């Protein structure tokens, strides 16, 4: 069936993985004749890709639906993704939503579109998460400088605060062969940088189940994958989006340190710097291992950028626990933090744990760590002033300035020059500006 002449728009919430999947759904629809337009242009079909981690997901979703209907009261609204898998009934009660699609069904959206008018009642299509056992590859295109390449999905961990296994199912991976083919397609499009994405990247290597009763087998490793990706011509940089500390093996760190394309930038979830809280979270490491991973990275790559995820206000986290976390992170040679305020999630073990932390106290702790993050980032930037780096500049023109990132994720600002867009150039860093970014002078363009 052709949908020539029909328009579609997208609104994506959450992580890089969601952006890669939205882009794939968009390509599937464009192949059938849809024209992709901006969200505020009132498309015939509006697709909202949701996130289970986002706080106030219900409120956010309602606001986006209202916004879409304000632009076009007849727009066919599909809500898909993690929140759609977890809370389909909540979404179905939002006025104006036509169809709700869960983890597997979101890639079959074309089967559920109705052009005879808006549905009289919201349709819900989502299977039990235990039945989700296939891998659907995805990658984003459209941003000319980078692409998010999905190579893994789902998670077999049982962290007590997390809904992602309930929203995305068990761990499963792409094949190396297909991941390489997708990387080559990305390179052919002119994109210079790939960001590897997944729910639990370090768990890469599980084969797809022949049937749901067949135990998965380890066919290849994350190290095998990155060794092959390093050979793909046309891609200048590859970043690892996030990897668990217990899965960040010495061999991976050592390979990145000498790689042609993998850049010195790791994002490693910590969640807490106190071992008692880590145990309550059912994390698969203690803080000593995290400290060891940071030390190993900095020994081989002194200028490496290291990002940290941390949760504040977890049930039972006393002031002493938080102070322990604060001091632990403060002593670590890391570059920035992503700070999350704990919020209760239905069907998680943590929601029933004793020791609830007052919301005002959770917010206070969050603010303290965000201040620490700003301090860490400025220190990291100051360490790299008056030095040469390669920068991949992006297309955005913000009040006459353009931005780009060095290989070790320092955000560089420079007077806008269209000829530098999507180009890797050598710059000399000079100072930190009022926005907190680094000013740099152009040295030369790379051939």
Tell whether 123 and 173 lie within a shared domain.
no
User: Rounded distance, CA 40 to CA 71, Å?
Assistant: 7
Tell whether 297 and 255 lie within a shared domain.
no
**Which residues have a Cβ under 8 Å from the Cβ of 130 and sit 6 or more positions away?**
169, 170, 212
* Structure-token pair, residue 156: 């077999």
Ramachandran angles phi, psi of 375, nearest 5°: -65, -45
CATH no. for residue 257? 3.30.750.210
Tell whether 255 and 345 lie within a shared domain.
no
In 286-384, which ranges are E strands?
A: 305-312, 336-341
- Judge whether 272 lies within some domain: no
Cβ burial of 177 (10 Å; 0-12, 13-18, 19+) is exposed
Tell whether 137 and 123 lie within a shared domain.
no
Tell whether 325 and 370 lie within a shared domain.
yes
For residue 190, how far is the Cα from the chain centroid?
Answer: 22
Which residue has tokens 């983890």?
Answer: 103
Helices (H), 259-306: 275-281, 287-300
Which residue has tokens 């010195």?
Answer: 264
| Parallel/antiparallel/unpaired status of strands 152-153 and 172-173 | antiparallel
- Judge whether 281 lies within some domain: no
- Judge whether 282 lies within some domain: no
User: Rounded distance, CA 396 to CA 429, Å?
Assistant: 20
Tell whether 160 and 176 lie within a shared domain.
yes
* Structure-token pair, residue 342: 């704990």
Q: Which of 87, 109, 127 is the last residue of a domain?
A: 127
Which residue has tokens 């920068």?
Answer: 391
- Judge whether 270 lies within some domain: no
Tell whether 196 and 295 lie within a shared domain.
no
Report pLDDT for 143: 62
- Judge whether 279 lies within some domain: no
- Judge whether 109 lies within some domain: yes
Tell whether 347 and 393 lie within a shared domain.
no
| Parallel/antiparallel/unpaired status of strands 193-197 and 7-12 | unpaired
Domain carrying residue 146: 133-263
Tell whether 119 and 11 lie within a shared domain.
yes
Low-confidence ranges of the chain (pLDDT < 70): 1-2, 54-55, 58, 143-144, 206-217, 445-447
Q: Which of 222, 243, 263 is the last residue of a domain?
A: 263
Cβ atoms 380, 437 nearer than 8 A:
no
Tell whether 48 and 92 lie within a shared domain.
yes
- Judge whether 228 lies within some domain: yes
**Which residues have a Cβ under 8 Å from the Cβ of 383 and sit 6 or more positions away?**
303
CATH no. for residue 431? 2.40.50
Cβ atoms 178, 219 nearer than 8 A:
no
Tell whether 252 and 297 lie within a shared domain.
no
User: Rounded distance, CA 221 to CA 218, Å?
Assistant: 7
Q: What is the DSSP string of 202-265?
A: GGTTBPPPSSTTSPP-B---HHHHHHHHTT-TT--EEEE----GGG--HHHHHHHHH-SSB-SE
- Judge whether 280 lies within some domain: no
Report pLDDT for 414: 94
Q: Which of 331, 355, 379 is the last residue of a domain?
A: 379
Total domain count for the chain? 4
Report pLDDT for 447: 44
Tell whether 252 and 151 lie within a shared domain.
yes
Ramachandran angles phi, psi of 391, nearest 5°: -130, 135
User: Rounded distance, CA 267 to CA 247, Å?
Assistant: 12
Report pLDDT for 29: 92
């Amino acid at each position: 069936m052709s949908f020539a002449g029909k328009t579609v728009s997208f609104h994506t919430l959450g992580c890089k993985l969601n952006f890669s999947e939205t882009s794939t759904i968009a390509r599937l629809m464009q192949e059938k004749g849809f024209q992709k337009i901006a969200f505020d242009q009132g498309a015939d079909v509006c697709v909202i890709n949701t996130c289970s981690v986002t706080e106030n997901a219900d409120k956010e979703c309602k606001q986006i639906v209202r916004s879409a209907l304000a632009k076009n009261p007849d727009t066919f609204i599909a809500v898909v993704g993690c929140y759609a898998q977890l809370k389909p009934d909540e979404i179905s009660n939002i006025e104006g939503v036509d169809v709700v699609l869960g983890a597997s069904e979101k890639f079959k959206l074309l089967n559920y579109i109705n052009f005879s008018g808006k549905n009289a009642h919201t349709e819900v299509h989502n299977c039990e998460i235990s039945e989700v056992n296939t891998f659907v590859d995805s990658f984003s295109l459209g941003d000319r400088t980078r692409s998010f390449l999905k190579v893994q999905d789902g998670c077999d961990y049982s962290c007590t605060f997390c809904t992602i296994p309930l929203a995305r199912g068990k761990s499963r991976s792409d094949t190396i062969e297909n991941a390489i083919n997708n990387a080559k397609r990305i390179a052919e499009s002119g994109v210079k940088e790939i960001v590897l994405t997944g729910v639990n990247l370090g768990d890469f290597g599980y084969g797809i189940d022949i049937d749901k009763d067949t135990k998965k087998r380890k066919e290849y490793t994350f190290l095998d994958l990155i060794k092959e990706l390093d050979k793909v011509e046309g891609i200048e940089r590859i970043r690892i989006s996030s990897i668990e500390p217990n899965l960040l093996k010495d061999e991976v760190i050592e390979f990145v340190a000498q790689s042609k394309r993998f850049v010195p930038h790791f994002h490693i979830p910590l969640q807490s710097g106190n071992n008692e809280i880590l145990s309550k979270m059912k994390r698969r490491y203690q803080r000593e291992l995290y400290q060891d991973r940071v030390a190993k990275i900095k020994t081989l790559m002194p200028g490496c950028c290291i990002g940290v995820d941390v949760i504040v206000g977890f049930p039972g986290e006393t002031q002493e626990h938080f102070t322990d976390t604060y001091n632990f992170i403060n002593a670590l040679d890391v570059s920035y933090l992503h700070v999350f305020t704990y919020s209760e999630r239905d069907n998680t073990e943590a929601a029933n744990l004793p020791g609830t932390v007052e919301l005002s106290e959770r917010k206070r702790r969050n603010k303290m760590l965000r201040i620490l993050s700003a301090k860490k980032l400025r220190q990291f930037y100051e360490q790299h002033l008056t030095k040469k780096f390669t920068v991949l500049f992006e297309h955005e023109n913000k009040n006459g300035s353009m931005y780009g990132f060095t290989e070790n994720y320092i955000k560089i600002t420079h007077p806008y020059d269209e000829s530098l867009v999507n180009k890797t150039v050598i710059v000399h860093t000079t100072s930190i500006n009022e926005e907190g970014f680094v000013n740099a002078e152009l040295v030369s363009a790379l051939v």
